[in-house]
Structure 1
Amino acid sequence: MSAEPIFRENPSRKILFLLSFLSLISLSKTNDLQSLLKFKTSLRNSNTNVFNTWTPNQNSICNFTGITCNSDQTVKEINLSQQNLSGTLPLDAICSLQSIEKLSLGSNSLYGIVTEELSNCTKLQYLDLGMNSFAGKFPDLSSLTQLKFLNLNHSGFSGQFPWKSLENLTSLEFLSLGDNPFDWSPFPLEILNLHKLYRVYLTNSSLEGEIPEGIGNLTLLQNLELSYNQLSGKIPEGITKLKNLWQLELYSNQLSGKFPNGLGNLTNLINFDASTNSLEGDISEIKYLTKLVSLQLFENKFSGEIPIELGEFKSLTNLSLYTNKLTGSIPLNIGSYGNFTYIDVSENFLTGSIPPNMCKNGKMSELLMLQNKFTGGLPENYANCLSLNRLRVNNNSLSGKIPAGIWSLPNLSIIDLTMNQFEGPLSDNVGEAKSLAQLFLSHNQFSGELPATISESTSLVDIELVANQFSGEIPATIGNLKKLSNLHLENNLFSGTIPESLGSCVSLSDINLAGNLFSGKIPASIGSLRSLNSLNLSHNELSGKFQ
């Protein structure tokens, strides 16, 4: 029987292989160093200290600020977002980094074109060039098949985007291309096959035509933003399959028709904005979206009633339904839960009373309910709403006295109660309203004197009290209102003399005191108002000449 051959490893061959391997590593590290130094040179005019560590005498390129290495000390990541970088992008150098997987340069001041050499970065998984100042077309992406994250938003790219090349990026999870002046194109169907996407941001991306039904294929989507385009037609029923969505933004398009059946399936929605379109029909599907924090449906053609269920939404903080054709009342419990901050239901046909608890948690800043058919008074609760910044309920059928505390709210910048049937006085505590810039009370039934304390509201720019039953004199201290631009007191019962101090309101441009019972001489000081454009003192009992 013959013996089996014995194979012995040649020690010299093993050593030679090891030396060759180490030589390759050393060469790769040297090449990476040269590439990084070239990258630094192209950005030499940047106002940043980030490159202070980028010197050839460093022990390792892995100690360079913003650089992450592999175990073999080759460059894996460049992380230099928000570092005040300025210059052009040397992709020939960057893509010669054979192990680079992440290039993050967002929110800088990079400019110039992004060259075709990007196609050599075949191992890239993460690419962020967003918020820069590039120019020209963006190159083909077909070879970047391992890409998971792509952010190019608001970076100045133009021309036709290479939508076709997206079909190769089947690992893509994050796609953000918005706010670039691309050439107009239909919704890119290539996206519909990228089943791993969880975010799509294509706002202001020059898209036109219909949103395809196939959008429902992207079942992992959590965030879909398609606003500020020219998308038309109906919201596709396919969207109702995206049950993981927490944000859906479709505003400022040309969408029409009714909400698709099954919109209520999107029970994870937190933010929904379909405003400024031509959508119509009722909004009853909204009642199922119980996790909503923000609902924006303004400037459409919606009709019918606001679902009463909205009053029980525990997380709702923002509700904007203005300029529609909605009828019925607002759910009385709305805003009773959570940190409700904002409501605008103006320009509808809504009736009933103002819900009393929208500032229950002291967070509401804006109450905008103008041009409806609301009745009743302002709820007493709002006298304690210290957070309130804007109160506008003009053009309704509201009545009664204003809760005294409303006049003195410290953050209130506008009170607009015009064209209602409110009555009673303007309270003395109005002087505590240090932020009040606009006081609009015209066409009501207010009465009593203009309190002298109004002169302490030194932020006032506009006072309009037209067509009420105010009486008495204009306070002599009114000259303290140095920012006052418009003073409209016409068609009331004011009397006495016009105070000389009115000439100290140096910003006045428009004065109308017509249709009152003023007497005596016209103050000479009014003639010294340099900004005055309009003065109407007619239908009073004044004497003397105006100079």
Structure 2
Amino acid sequence: MASICRVLPVFLVVLAALATTSNSHGDGKLTLRCHPDQAATLLQLKKSFSFLRYPNPLESWQDGTDCCLWEGVGCSNSFGHVTALELSGCGFYSQGLDPAIFKLTSLQLLDLSMNSFGPYSLPASGFERLPLLTHLNLSNSGFQGQIPAGIGRLANLVSLDLSSHFGIDDYDTGIGDSTNSLWLQDPNFQILVANLSNLRELYLDGLDMFGIKGWCHVLAKSLPDLSVLSLSYCQLVSPICPSLSTLHSLTMVNLQDNFYMPDAPFPEFFMDFLNLSVLQLARTNLQGWFPRRTFQSKTLRVLDLSRNLDLSGHVLSLSNTSSLETMKLDGTRFSFGKPGSFTNFKSLQILSLDVNVSSVDTVEPQSSLGIHRSLQHLGLTQMDSKSDLGLILSWLGNLQNLRSLELSDWHFSLTYFSSVAKLKSLRRLSITGCTFTRSALSTFSNLVGLRSLEVSDCDFNGPIPSAIGNLTNLKSLNINRCNFLGPIPSSIGKLMNLRNLEVFGVYNNIGTFSCPFVPIPSSVGPMPFAVGNLSNLESLQINDFEFSGPIPYAVGLLKKLTSLRIRNSGLSGNIPNSISNLTRLIELDLSFNDLNGELPASVFTIPTLQRLDIRSSKISGSILDINVTSSHLVSVDLGRNNLMGNVPGSFFQLTSLSYLDIGWNNLTGAVDLSSFWRFRNLNHLDLSNNNLSVREMDGEGNTNSPSTYIPRVTSLGLASCNLTEFPVSLAHLNQVFYLDLSCNRISGEIPKWIWTTWNSSLTYLNLSHNMLNIMQLTSYVLPFNQLETLDLSSNELQGQIPMPSPPAVVLDYSNNSFSAVLPNFTLYLGDEFKISKNKISGHIPNSVSDSSISVLDLSFNNFTGWIPPCLIEDGYMRVLILRKNQFEGVLPNNIKDQCMLQTLDLNDNKIEGQLPMTLTKCLQLELLDVGNNDMVDTFPSWLGVLPELHVLVLRSNRFYGSMGGDLHSVDKYGEYFASLQIIDLASNYFSGSLSPKLFDRLTSMMAELNTTGEIVRARNGTDYQDTVAITYKSIYRSFVKILTTLTVIDLSNNSFEGNIPESLGRLVSLLALNMSGNAFTGDIPRELGRMSQLEALDLS
């Protein structure tokens, strides 16, 4: 709601600025022509715009006409200089802001809001050339990056708006705006506002101000006459301080949704501001009791204290604030239990409350809420399931002027919902987190005046009612995550006025490097052909469904469509050519589907298309070489498909591209990297994991020579591109966030500029799987400020391991020849640290307990000494791999209840003693490998209670005794080793007979329970893969990726005796069984013949 009070002041300024033009031409007698250079500048600016609206809103901008008469242009009376440029909401997009605008040095008002300049940054210089500017509005224009220093030099600014608005202000449509992604680093906040002492209105909503301290002190010192302060969604981390109390002119304060603020009481000084009209402090962690005093302002219209969960108060304490038009108290502990609590609020139009037992025990609906004919928007959240719905909703039918209703966390029956169905004036209905019957849902059809309907996160097991087709006035329909079953009804085609249709199914995020969604399990049938009837539709978004069948051809009939997104929805078949008829389409997203066939060439010729995303959708064939000179594509993502052939030459004509991803396909041929540098706005390029040979050529055909122009690339993926050296042009990139050069053939040294050029920006660096052997370093402490992942694994690097400071999240130095770590290396540990297969010796210092490490792999080195108990006992470690070292001693036995261990691999050390029984607290444990040690213990049958244990390796120790000694407890446990797929007990001292019960419970090795062939993945959000070494087909070998189909039992070289249990025959998915080197007698059971998947059997 950041824009609630700013429209009128800015509009009046625009009107005054443009009045000079209308006065000059209104009588038809005075002729005023603007300067030719001003007209030329405006025409140059117009060339940088591409328009989505018809007709073109700047049609009047014609060469040879008076630019002072042009739409949105205001001029001075005396000289004809352009003083105002008001292009808000013209519906154009542009590849950044053309610097030509800075030639209009007489500008006093500049408003480019509600257009699309993204995803580009503002020009670093130029604003300082507009010294007369008093009003600057660049809100919701898609700009990203650093705010330029020149804005802070505009000393005459009265109003500055760089905001992004995340709320929905239009109750009729429910359609929000585009957003900026701006931040402050250099200049910082203090420098930005230091010279803006004339500023009256400041809107920075959505600006990233995380980490900025003392922001309110800066405002109080630099902007003494501020009247409007709007800093919502700014990630502020310091509290609202009393220094703001000096800003007596404040009329509007919006600090909502700064949820990183510390807990603090309500800032009581706001109640002393005489002119305050808007106070929005939602979700700012206010706590305690709201003051029992009166606001001094007689004009307070908006009070929003919602979503401050620990803020208590009573509505009666606000009863003297009769001027209120908006009051939001939902998500607080405010109560309104006495009759007449709301009778003083005669002007109230918008009201949001929590409804629970404590607040409605004595409510009298007719005397409190029902009498307010002025109420237009009502939001009610039920916080207590014991509330009397009949009592609470009985007054709803009397609110005949209500236009917007939001209901959260309710449980409806048809009787209760009938009260809602009486609201004939209702235009917007939002229901979130509710449960209701199908008959209750069908009553929506009575609300024929609805313009916007949103039903989200509700529990509804049934189809979408066909009666929804009766809501023929709907402009926006959102049905999200409601567990609807069955097809989307064809009656949806009756909603001829619909402009926005959004239907989301249920999904589960599983990561970023594969399809990020798990489809809902049942099909909802084909996508309805009737959707083609929605002739006014502008946005169609359907995500996370499981359609059966193709994209209907009728989609091509939606001529007004600007956004088409059907993601992760099981669509099959070809992409219909009819999509090329969508001549207003800006965004096409068909990613994560099961499409097949080729990508239609006509998609690239849609004149307005900016963003194309068809990644991970199984499209195949070649990318056709077509004429794309009229294309306005800004973003193309075709990654993770089955495309083949060469990269077409037409791709290099898409000079507007800022994002191109064609990685993970089967593309072939040679590619000149410098050809992509023609894209002057390119910031993301990914060619990884094809069969391409990437080289960098200059204009004369010389390899690896820097091109004359280097783009603003910030993300570059060149993995598996057959590179033999670092591209020279990379050294000239100013700000890189992501760089992947892994799996190439780059040899020699890592250049110095890798470590120094991007130390303030780089977050991901992957140089793994090359032939690098030297690092040009000035220090082994790498000064990366933002680094999250550093991967130097699988090279030939030597010497001491360099480590970034501050610590990165993931560090991987595996498979090199490093011989030492920093003496205090634990100071630089992040979440993951992997140095396996190097030549490092020494002890693990106890200071490792001070780190936040959760994945530690030191395998195949020469570490010695005891394992620090904290690594196992503290419970925070998820993956601990110490295989093939010289560790000794016993394992700690005081494992905490919150144990998060998933992998514990101590194979091939000198560990002694017993397995700690407190391992049973590690309920997420998937792999336990203590093979090849000196442990002395009995069979740990108590491990059978671990529900996720896939791999158990005890081989080559001194385990002894019978495996059946504790099997009386199997019945007590219920499930026993239920997930186990690999058990290796070879070369121990086990004896006695094998109980049939042992194999009766190994359900993961039985039929139809283990046939998917998937990789066993840790559920910890990392891409780490477990490794196990076992004897398979008489060969001792390692498996780096453990498939669910890899099922092995190895009991060889023990002293087992007696008969081989017949129950072994139930393990029909077993691949390898080795019982050799024992003393079994009797016949080989016939039941073993049922083991149809068996590839290796050794009973010798």
Normalising TM by the smaller chain, what interval? Answer: 0.7 to 0.9
| Change over 3 Å in CA distance of 1:114–1:442 after alignment to 2 | closer
* Corresponding position: 1:269 with 2:801: no
| Structure 1 residue 106 displacement after superposition | 3.7
Q: Tell me if structure 1 keeps the 8 A contact 2:811–2:832.
A: yes
Work out whether 1:249 is the aligned partner of 2:766. yes
| Cα drift, residue 276 of structure 1 | 1.4
Structure 1 stretches of 5 or more lacking a match? 1-5, 10-21, 29-45, 68-72, 537-547
Q: Is the 8 A contact 1:249 1:272 kept in 2?
A: yes
Instruction: Indicate whether 1:318 and 2:832 are aligned.
Output: yes
1:426 has 2:426 as partner: no
Secondary structure in structure 1 of the residue aligned to 2:689: coil
Q: Which runs of 5+ in 2 are unaligned?
A: 1-28, 33-52, 60-547, 567-581, 697-702, 971-975, 1006-1046
Shift of 1:144: 3.6
Contact 2:864/2:887, CA 8 A, preserved across alignment: yes
User: What is aligned with 2:997?
Assistant: 477
Please report how far the alpha carbon of residue 374 of structure 1 lies from its aligned counterpart in structure 2 after TM superposition: 0.9
Residue 223 of structure 1, CA deviation: 0.6
Greater shift after overlay, 234-243 or 136-145?
136-145
Separation in 2, partners of 1:462, 1:105: 39
Provide the C-alpha distance between the structure 2 equivalents of 1:128 and 1:228, rounded to a whole number of angstroms: 22
1:535 aligns with 2:1052: no
Q: Give the corresponding residue for 2:560.
A: 61
Provide the residue aligned with 2:841 in structure 1.
327
1:152 partner letter: I
Which range moved further: 411-420 or 371-380?
411-420
Amino acid across the alignment from 1:534: D
3-state DSSP of counterpart to 1:145: coil
2:561 and 2:997 map into 1 onto residues whose CA distance is: 71
- Say if 1:151 and 1:511 are closer, same or farther in 2 by CA, change over 3 A: closer
> What's the counterpart of residue 15 of structure 1?
none
Query: Which residue does 2:1083 correspond to in 1?
Result: 524
The Cα shift of 1:253 comes to 1.8
Q: For residues 213 and 261 of structure 1, what CA distance do their matches in structure 2 show?
A: 21
Q: Which residue of 1 aligns with 2:350?
A: none
Q: Which residue of 1 aligns with 2:719?
A: 203
Alignment partners' CA distance in 2, 1:111 and 1:334:
50
Partner-residue secondary structure (3-state), 2:660: strand
Matches within 5 A, 1:173-184: 173-183=683-693
What is the TM-score with the length of structure 2 in the denominator? 0.39
1:332/1:354 contact within 8 Å kept? no
- Give the Cα separation in 1 of the matches to 2:1085 and 2:635: 67
Alignment match, 1:78: 587
Helix, strand or coil at the partner of 2:586: strand
Deviation track 1:475-513 (CA, whole Å, cap 9, x = no partner) reads: 463342554853425355x67x44755665655754446
Q: Letter of the aligned partner of 2:885 in structure 1?
A: N
What is the TM-score when the length of structure 1 is the normalising length? Answer: 0.75
Q: Which residue of 1 aligns with 2:669?
A: 159
1:366-410 residue CA offsets vs partner (Å, 9 max, x unmatched): 322111111222222447564333322111112222211226744
2: distance between equivalents of 1:401 and 1:504?
A: 32
Partner secondary structure for residue 255 of structure 1:
strand
| Larger deviation, residues 254-263 vs 363-372 | 254-263
State how 1:18-37 maps to structure 2 within 5 Å: none
Residue number among 110, 120, 128 corresponding to 2:629 in the alignment: 120
2: CA distance between counterparts of 1:299 and 1:307? 18
CA contact (8 A) 2:897 2:921 kept: no
- Which residue of 773, 777, 780 corresponds with 1:260? 777
Cα-to-partner distance string for 1:299-320 (whole Å, 9 max, x where unaligned): 111112x335442347x22222
User: Which residues of 2 match residues 382-531 of structure 1 at below 5 A?
Assistant: 382=895, 384=897, 386-406=899-919, 409-450=922-963, 451-453=965-967, 456-470=976-990, 473-475=993-995, 477-480=997-1000, 483=1005, 485-488=1048-1051, 490-491=1053-1054, 497-498=1058-1059, 506=1067, 510-512=1073-1075, 514=1077, 522-524=1081-1083, 526=1085, 528-530=1087-1089
For the Cα contact (< 8 Å) 1:335–1:359, is it kept in 2?
no
d(CA) in 1 for partners of 2:603, 2:977: 63
| Aligned-partner Cα distance in 1 for 2:962–2:926 | 22
Question: Is the aligned partner of 1:294 residue 2:772?
Answer: no
Per-residue CA deviations over 1:416-462 (Å, capped at 9, x if unaligned) read: 21222222333452332344444332333334443333863354455
- How many residues align? The count is 480
Q: Deviations over 1:125-153 (max 9, x none)?
A: 33333334333222155544333222222
Task: Output one character per residue of 1:230-261: Cα deviation in whole Å (capped at 9) or x when no partner.
Answer: 22221111101221111001112222224633
* CA distance 1:471–1:292, change in 2 (3 Å): same
CA–CA separation in structure 1 for the residues paired with 2:620 and 2:1048:
45
Q: Is the 8 A contact 2:612 2:636 kept in 1?
A: yes
Structure 1 residues 360 and 403: CA distance shift in structure 2, 3 A: closer
Runs of 4+ displaced beyond 6 Å: 6-9, 22-26
Distance 1:149 1:434 in 2: 44
Does structure 1 retain, via aligned residues, the 8 Å contact 2:875–2:895? no
Task: Give yes or no for contact 2:705–2:728 (8 Å, CA) kept in 1.
Answer: no
Q: Which aligned pairs between 1:329-368 and structure 2 lie closer than 5 A?
A: 329-334=843-848, 336-338=850-852, 340-358=853-871, 362=875, 364-368=877-881
Query: 1:225: how far off?
Result: 0.7
**Corresponding residue of 1:218:** 733
CA positional deviation for 1:23: 11
Q: Which residue of 2 aligns with 1:136?
A: 645
Q: What are the residue-to-residue correspondences of 1:180-195 with 2, within 5 Å?
A: 180-183=690-693, 185=695, 189=705, 193-195=709-711
Report if aligned partners of 1:158, 1:180 keep a CA contact under 8 Å in 2: yes
Q: Is the 8 A contact 1:193 1:217 kept in 2?
A: no
How much does 1:119 deviate?
4.1
- Counterpart of 2:797 (choices 249, 262, 279) is 279
2:717–2:740 contact (8 Å) kept in structure 1: yes
Q: 1:232 to 1:381 in 2, by over 3 A?
A: farther
The CA distance in 1 between the partners of 2:1076 and 2:921, in whole Å, is 25
Residue 373, structure 1, aligned to residue 886, structure 2 = yes
Match in the other structure for 1:70: none
Instruction: Give 2:687's aligned amino acid.
Output: L
Moved more, 249-258 or 327-336: 327-336
Equivalent residue for 2:14?
none
Matched-pair contact (CA < 8 Å) for 2:784–2:806: no
Q: Deviations over 1:59-109 (max 9, x none)?
A: x52467469xxxxx9736232241745554454674362x55444444444
Aligned partner of 1:61: which letter? K
Paired AA for residue 916 in structure 2: P
Q: What is the RMSD of the two structures over their aligned residues, measured on CA atoms?
A: 3.9
What is the distance in 2 between the residues matched to 1:324 and 1:473?
43
Going from structure 1 to structure 2, the CA distance change for 1:7 and 1:427 (only over 3 Å counts) comes to closer
The alignment partner of 1:216 has SS state of helix
8 A Cα contact 2:960 2:990, kept in partner: yes
Distance change >3 Å, CA 447–CA 383, structure 1 → 2: farther
